[in-house]
Structure 1
Amino acid sequence: MDFALLPWHGLKAGTKKQKYDVISEKKVSTPIEVLCKNCPSEFVSYFHYHIRELVSLENVMEEVGLGPNGALMYCMEYLDDSLHDWVDKELDN
């Protein structure tokens, strides 16, 4: 894959923050198939799994009542305990 051809390379904006916002929006709006157009189809299929289905920082902060740092630690521990089983389950479906 030629990284120089990624859709967000070369984007311009007035400030660094604006540039990062433009890049972020471009990354979110670019379909997986465009990013992986020269990759094997098996590779592309893995991008359809989202770790947010397992745990999300925002949900932990709201449901457990933790601040950002505590919720991040909670998520990391949860991933450490649960990721292997979740991946196996997702790949079996």
Structure 2
Amino acid sequence: MFGILMLAAFVIGSEWLVSRGVMPAYLIKARTGQTLWRALLSILVTVGLVGWLHLPAVIAIVVTIYFATIIANRYLQVFEAMERGKRG
């Protein structure tokens, strides 16, 4: 039960950090499609390192949640811009 609460707290914290603009530098200026592929590559590298170095799996879970939040926020910004007629 405690683990689920900690993951929920991390999801909320991730959303707060991403809304404040705290992201890796290689994802800030990237286009939306590049953000998706770079985040996916980062997740795969993390999963590979966790498996290879026999680290706790929670590291991969936390990284996946953080990058999923970044991707969701980026696509939300793009769709909001499309609704306002600024893109598309």
TM > 0.5 between the two?
A: no
Larger radius of gyration: 1
TM-score when normalising by structure 2: 0.33
Q: Which has the higher contact order (CA 8 A, sep 6+)?
A: 2
Determine which structure has the larger helix proportion and give its number.
2
Normalised by the length of structure 1, the TM-score is 0.32
